[in-house]
Amino acid sequence: MKKTVLLVTAPVANLRKKPEDASLSYTHDDLQLTQLLFNEILLYHGETEDWYFVEATEQKKALPRKAWQGYPGWVRKDAVVVADRAPIFNTIVNDIGVIIWKTPEPKAEPLLPLSIGTRLAVESSPREKYYRKIVLPDDERGWIKKDEVILLRRAISSSRLRHAVIETAGRFLDAPYLWGGRGVYVSETLQRVRSGDKRKGLNRSRRAKSEPRIVSGAVCGVDCSGLTNLAYRVNNIDIPRDAHDQWIEARPVPLKKLKPADLIFVSAEGAHERITHVMLYTGGEGFIEASETGSTVRTNTFETKFGLTLHRIAGEGFVVKKKRIYLGTVIPTLEQK
């Protein structure tokens, strides 16, 4: 029996544990599962008057016996549309916040803001130097600046991939932490694009910690695994959504072989088989992380976070403050040069 396919039409939409709206603030919300980006493919499993129960096929969730499924949850009906088939995407947004425009002109009318990591279907437009033509879910067309997207590329060497993942993660610096967050949109995106400001990071302001950034009814931000998921997604590698599931999929790495873009997993206190945090290793003693509610994405060091250097932590059997540290990688082993 053919399954009904849905497409996300909101720039960012919440996936909920129950069909109840999320808070419009940066608070810990146990009903928040994850966030869906524009064009994400969903499978229909049920509905209420205002909500669909769906499976987010692009965000893997672990099941018993090493099986996987798309992330299940509830999404508002007004954030999605029924599709005849799953579209084929060939491009992805690689800037923090961008705009789809009605026409390929500097003073064009904006159609839609998009978050980094959004996949798009682009039509060939060889005569247009600065824009790419986008196919929208309603079969209309829009335009996006060429330097804000990249083609979904074939495999590249692991060294180039590692560099690209770290570069992508750096664009999230100062993004607000949001439990279950996986979408980034800043209110100044439209003004930034029109003014020609090419800064790749977010506005480094203390306001980021308190003022919610809202688009299409969803507060935007990232949690620890949302950050790592998107850093890899932009570079055409899909990893699971949650930290524990990323740990399940990652291959263990000994300290002497740890490289930038590998993942650092942290267990719960006294429960070493339950992963509650993930960080992206940047080399030496450094990493990038989305730490906790009330904070923003930042760079950090092992000594600052744990009170010990990485090598001292290794000397303690990778157990510090009753938590277990694991080193892992999701970088493909087969290189294409």
pTM for the whole thing? 0.91
Contact 320, 308 (CB under 8 A): yes
More confident residue, 105 or 306: 306
Please state whether beta strands 91-93 and 131-135 pair in parallel, antiparallel, or not at all (unpaired).
unpaired
Asked if the domains at 5-83 and 91-151 fall in one CATH topology, the answer is yes
Q: What is the pLDDT of residues 29-86, one digit of tens each?
A: 999 999 999 999 999 999 999 999 999 999 999 998 889 999 999 999 999 999 988 8
Cα distance between residue 305 and residue 91, in whole Å:
37
What is the arithmetic mean of pLDDT over 137-162?
88
Pick the CATH number of 91-151 from 2.30.30.40, 3.40.50.1970, 3.40.50.2300, 3.40.190.10: 2.30.30.40
Residue 9 identity: T
Q: What is the pLDDT of residues 2-24, one digit of tens each?
A: 689 999 999 999 999 999 999 88
What is the arithmetic mean of pLDDT over 105-110?
88
Give the length of the chain. 337
Cα distance between residue 271 and residue 206, in whole Å:
34
The CATH superfamily label for domain 5-83 reads: SH3 Domains (2.30.30.40)
Domain boundaries, the chain: 5-83, 91-151
Of the given ranges (12-16, 77-81, 177-181, 197-201), which has the lowest mean pLDDT?
A: 197-201
What residue ranges in 77-140 does DSSP mark as E strands? 80-83, 91-93, 97-101, 110-115, 119-123, 131-135
